[in-house]
């Protein structure tokens, strides 16, 4: 294979080096394009063909439906590892030894006490505020409580920032939920594990003794592991872009939460349940909604379907679908949306519109059904995704800073007015 990418423009040939990744992915390095061509740029809205970085964290093959973190298959990680073990792997590159893991867990626990003044900020929100907006604001507010500069060359500084955000973020998420629910804010109980603690903070009421349901805990751990990283998706690219200006880890992650909120990204898990409920309320006619999704004059899209990278089954969706029946029956929950979701999937997969465009169920298609069975309110679904995605955002921010990547700053093709003379208001 040629190791040069070349193109001809205005009678001149330009050559660019080709780089091949460890999984044989190929990129053409156009860093010198503008300089050598005298200002030509590439145009790629939505970055459908543009690599923004080299990364060692996550490999995904959208054609084959493969997802691996640091070389380990997602199927193995969800079944064999705990949430914090996978977080350590994703952030630091290797599975932790027993000693490394014990230290990591203990250091996160040292950071679970959020400054009391944060509650004043939370008080300012109306009870009806969406918890994703609250979570993004509170995460940004952490910068005021930890204004110290993180020296990214210092392993200790970096480690401290990482354990701080991992410790405080679930507390903020649980508080966002309590605010919404009109319940008192809980503090962490450091005798509990990471996910159990998060569930306790969300659900414990002062009048009752809190008891973890092991089925809920196991299902939640698996779901959140599945969400930990997904290479350069919209929120992760946002975290890297914000961080590339040397904004702090907390500020960058706050921006990631906002990016995740949108219904085309993490907000799809809420949108899927709302869509399934709408189908049921409308009489359950699945074909009608499939036709709406295919109609180019109708803005409706089948939520939880399609993916920028997967042109095959999203392996995360396969794992979640596999667990959905077991979790619901273990909990004794019957949810009519699961039946509608399965019917919808069956009809869509056999429809040429979806087949031709390679649209398959994605991670958000079944996750909401499990969240709901686990007792998570709909408006908290995307918050759960954010808790799951936090280790990925951290790992990507750390990698970007440690590689000393330049500030992210795309170019544009200007299509506006050319130079014109200013007229005073009396002449307009």
Closest to ligand CMC by CB, 249 or 348 = 348
Report how far residue 139's alpha carbon sits from residue 253's, in angstroms, rounded to the nearest whole number.
7
Q: Are 133 and 261 in contact (CB under 8 A)?
A: yes
SS3 86: helix
By the rule CB under 6 A, 167 interacts with ligand CMC: no
| Window of 82-90, 100-108, 134-142, 258-266 that interacts with ligand CMC by CB under 6 A | 258-266
- What's the chain's Rg over C-alpha atoms? 23
Report how far residue 314's alpha carbon sits from residue 306's, in angstroms, rounded to the nearest whole number.
9
Report how far residue 203's alpha carbon sits from residue 223's, in angstroms, rounded to the nearest whole number.
18
By the rule CB under 6 A, 362 interacts with ligand CMC: yes
Among 363, 374, 386, 395, binds ligand CMC (CB under 6 A): 363
Single out the residue of 147, 160, 174 nearest to residue 110, CA to CA: 160
Per annotation, catalytic residue among 265, 307, 314, 335: 307
Closest to ligand CMC by CB, 265 or 401 = 265
Would you put residue 71 in left (φ > 0), alpha (ψ -120 to 50) or beta? left
Residue 364: active-site member: yes
| Window of 70-78, 192-200, 202-210, 260-268 that interacts with ligand CMC by CB under 6 A | 260-268
Min. distance of Cβ 32 from ligand CMC in angstroms? 29
Among 40, 264, 280, 402, binds ligand CMC (CB under 6 A): 264
Contacts of 125 (CB under 8 A, 6+ apart): 133, 134, 137, 179
Closest to ligand CMC by CB, 226 or 249 = 226
Min. distance of Cβ 379 from ligand CMC in angstroms? 16
Among 68, 164, 265, 372, binds ligand CMC (CB under 6 A): 265
SS3 259: helix
Number of residues that bind ligand CMC (CB under 6 A): 20
Closest to ligand CMC by CB, 49 or 191 = 49
Report how far residue 407's alpha carbon sits from residue 183's, in angstroms, rounded to the nearest whole number.
42
Letters for 203-242 (x = contact with ligand CMC by CB under 6 A, - = none) are ------------------------------x---------
Q: Are 223 and 370 in contact (CB under 8 A)?
A: yes
By the rule CB under 6 A, 305 interacts with ligand CMC: yes
Min. distance of Cβ 298 from ligand CMC in angstroms? 10
Q: Are 301 and 293 in contact (CB under 8 A)?
A: yes
| Window of 73-81, 87-95, 98-106, 306-314 that interacts with ligand CMC by CB under 6 A | 306-314
Q: Are 384 and 341 in contact (CB under 8 A)?
A: no
Per annotation, catalytic residue among 229, 314, 335, 364: 364
Q: Are 354 and 348 in contact (CB under 8 A)?
A: yes
Residue 227: active-site member: no
Among 200, 224, 303, 374, binds ligand CMC (CB under 6 A): 303
Cβ-closest position to ligand CMC:
306
Closest to ligand CMC by CB, 170 or 266 = 266
Q: Are 359 and 348 in contact (CB under 8 A)?
A: yes
Beta strands (DSSP E) in 25-142 are 26-28, 58-61, 66-69, 72-73
If one counts every other C-beta atom within 10 angstroms of the C-beta of residue 205, the result is: 12
Among 193, 306, 315, 388, binds ligand CMC (CB under 6 A): 306
By the rule CB under 6 A, 293 interacts with ligand CMC: yes
Closest to ligand CMC by CB, 68 or 109 = 68
By the rule CB under 6 A, 308 interacts with ligand CMC: yes
Q: How far is CA 4 from CA 7, 9, 19, 53, in A?
A: 10, 16, 9, 19
Single out the residue of 99, 79, 186 nearest to residue 88, CA to CA: 99
By the rule CB under 6 A, 301 interacts with ligand CMC: yes
Q: Are 376 and 177 in contact (CB under 8 A)?
A: no
Closest to ligand CMC by CB, 103 or 301 = 301
By the rule CB under 6 A, 390 interacts with ligand CMC: no
Q: For residue 307, what is the enclosing H or E element?
A: none
Closest to ligand CMC by CB, 177 or 265 = 265
Residues belonging to the active site: 307, 364
Residue ranges in contact with ligand CMC by CB under 6 A: 46, 233, 264-266, 268, 293, 301-308, 357, 359, 362-364
């Amino acid at each position: 294979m040629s190791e040069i990418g070349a193109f001809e423009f205005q009678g001149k040939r330009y050559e660019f080096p080709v780089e091949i990744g460890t999984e044989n992915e190929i990129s053409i390095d156009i860093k010198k394009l503008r300089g050598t061509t005298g200002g030509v740029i590439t145009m790629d809205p939505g970055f459908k063909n543009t690599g923004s970085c080299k990364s060692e964290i996550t490999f995904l093959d959208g054609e084959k439906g493969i997802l691996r973190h640091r070389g380990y298959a997602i199927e193995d990680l969800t079944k064999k590892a705990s949430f914090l073990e996978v977080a350590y792997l994703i952030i630091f590159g290797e599975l932790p030894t027993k000693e490394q893991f014990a230290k990591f867990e203990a250091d996160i626990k040292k950071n679970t006490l959020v400054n009391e003044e944060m509650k004043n900020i939370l008080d300012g929100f109306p009870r009806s505020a969406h918890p994703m907006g609250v979570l993004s604001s509170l995460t940004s507010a952490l910068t005021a409580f930890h204004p110290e500069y993180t020296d990214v060359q210092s392993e200790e500084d970096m480690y401290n920032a990482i354990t701080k955000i991992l410790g405080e973020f679930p507390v903020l998420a649980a508080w966002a939920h309590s605010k919404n629910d009109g319940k008192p804010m809980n503090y962490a109980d450091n005798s509990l594990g990471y996910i159990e603690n998060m569930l306790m903070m969300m659900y414990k009421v002062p009048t009752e003794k809190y008891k973890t349901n092991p089925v809920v805990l196991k299902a939640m751990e698996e779901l959140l592991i599945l969400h930990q990283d997904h290479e350069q998706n919209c929120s992760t690219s946002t975290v890297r872009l914000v961080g590339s200006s040397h904004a702090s880890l907390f500020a960058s992650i706050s921006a990631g939460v906002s990016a995740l909120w949108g219904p085309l990204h993490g907000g799809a898990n809420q949108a899927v349940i709302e869509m399934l409920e709408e189908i049921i309320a409308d009489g359950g006619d699945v074909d009608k909604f499939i036709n709406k999704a295919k109609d180019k004059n109708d803005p409706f899209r089948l939520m939880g379907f399609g993916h920028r990278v997967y042109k095959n089954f999203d392996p995360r969706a396969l794992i979640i679908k596999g667990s959905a029946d077991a979790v619901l029956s273990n909990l004794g929950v019957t949810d009519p949306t699961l039946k509608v979701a399965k019917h919808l999937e069956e009809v869509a997969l056999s429809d040429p519109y979806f087949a031709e465009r390679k649209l398959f169920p994605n991670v958000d298609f079944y996750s909401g059904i499990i969240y709901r069975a686990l007792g998570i309110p709909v408006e908290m679904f995307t918050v759960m995704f954010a808790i799951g995605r936090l280790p990925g955002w951290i790992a990507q921010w750390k990698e970007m800073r440690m590689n000393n990547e330049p500030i992210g700053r795309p170019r544009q093709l200007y299509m506006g007015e050319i130079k014109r003379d200013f007229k005073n208001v009396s002449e307009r």
